[in-house]
Each structure stands twice: as C-alpha cells, then as structure tokens.
Amino acid sequence: MATVLIVDDEPDIRDVIRFTLEESGFRVLEASHADEARRLLPEQPDILLLDWMLPGRSGLELARQLKQNPKTRSIPIIMISARGEEDDRIKGLDTGADDYITKPFSPREMVARVNAVLRRSRAEEVSAQIEIGGLIIDNVSHRVSAGDRAIDIAPTEYRLLHFFMTHADRAFSRSQLLDQVWGNHVYVEERTVDVHVRRLRKALEATGHEHLLQTVRGVGYRFSDK
C-alpha cells in the first residue's frame, strides 16, 4: 500500500489526517516542519500532503525544492491551504503541486484526492534515461544504445523513438504521432509516419530491437517489450 507523508505544524490536523488515511489502508509518516520532512524522504513516501502555511512559508520552499530536484520531482504533492488564501493556491499549483485541498475538508474528499493523484502520477515516472526491452534512450546526451553499442539515429527518428519510449504500451494513430512528434501545426502526409517507422526499425535492427516497434493494423503503431 502507498505511503503518505503529512507535513503540517498542527498536531491535531495531523492526527485527523493520519486516522483517516490509516483507516483507508495507507501507511502514514508525519513531519511538523520542512526539515523533518526532508529527513523522512529516505522512507520513500509515494505522496506528500503539505500544509501551505508552515512557519516562514517553508511549505512553498519545500514544494519548489522537491519539484526542482530530479530525484524527488516525481513525488506528487497535494497542498493543504486555508479557504480563501487564493493567491497562495495559485502559486501552489504553479510551484508544481499536483492538487490542493482547502481547509476545512472532509475525510472522504481527502482520500478521494489522494487516490486520484496517485493514480495519475503512477504512470508518469519521468526520468532522463529510459530503458525498455534492453534499449536505452538518454534524453540528456541525446543518445540511443543497447548494451554497450550506440545506435546511430536521425533527428526525426530520435524524436519518434523518444516519444514512443516515454509512452510505451500505448497504440497511437498516425495523426496522433504527427501531432506529438512533428507538432500539430505542420502538415505532412500520414503515410510519412510509415516511412519513418521503417527507418527507425532499420536503425534498431542493428541491435535486434526492431520488434519493439509494433504495427497495430487499422490503428497505428505501438512500442512495447511485450
């Protein structure tokens, strides 16, 4: 089951939240301030419930910090704020918070939101380097490799592959691929996608990974190691 880290300076609030979440089967960690929260990060919480109004605006700081660090960026954050602090709420979303709850909130609402955010974020998992079926793409060095062999690839093929690998196990139509990889403003023939798929496959043949790029007849293409 998922672990939730509550960061709030009021013990009463923490208690209420802890009770509700534990009843719903979550594991709960508590911190009363930002520093304590940071110390608890090694416990690998799946989600943070973060009170906006921590002393010294440290809630905002913490959120910003977590979202800037690649290692913690993927931890979703739900902000808790008092009703009416609208400006803060907006900043919270801008900072990268994934959702927020206004006090006072009902237990049911909170659980519903925690679940919703977890469901969303689970699939996301962004990282610079992605590995699927032994094939590795690294968006920092802009390089594709398998084992210790580098694969030479043209720009468009690279973008296509990168899109596929960040959206694996999904079937895409040609027009979706054009929108996503070429940009939805340009107009090119749908069949062009076929050609680039073929070129990409050819490039992947060098290491025997062409089977990862699959044709879904009547629909489009899919990237998957299954």
| 196 sits near a second copy (criterion: CB under 8 A) | no
Coil, helix or strand for 59? helix
How far is 12 from 148, CA to CA, in rounded Å?
55
Residue 125's binding partner out of DNA, a second copy, none, with CB under 5 to 8 Å set by partner kind? a second copy
**Contact yes or no for 2/27 (Cβ under 8 A):** yes
Residue 90 or 188 having the CB closest to DNA: 188
- C-alpha to C-alpha distances, 184 to 174, 177, 181, 188, 223, nearest whole angstrom: 12, 9, 8, 10, 21
How far is 21 from 134, CA to CA, in rounded Å?
39
Name which position in 196, 209, 212, 222 contacts DNA (CB under 7 A): 196
| 142 sits near a second copy (criterion: CB under 8 A) | yes
Residue 69 or 141 having the CB closest to a second copy: 141
Among residue numbers 145 through 174, which ones bind DNA (CB under 7 A)? Answer: 154-157
Q: How far is the CB of 42 from DNA (least distance, A)?
A: 20
At 101, give phi and psi (nearest 5°): -125, 140
Q: What does DSSP assign to residue 41?
A: G
Determine which helix (DSSP H) or strand (DSSP E) holds 13, and give its type and residue range.
Answer: helix 11-23
Q: Print the binding letters for residues 79-118 with a second copy: x by CB under 8 A, - otherwise.
A: -------x--xx--xx---xx------x-xx--xx--x--
Q: How far is the CB of 145 from a second copy (least distance, A)?
A: 8
Residues that bind DNA (CB under 7 A): 154-157, 182, 186-189, 191-192, 194-199, 201, 215-220
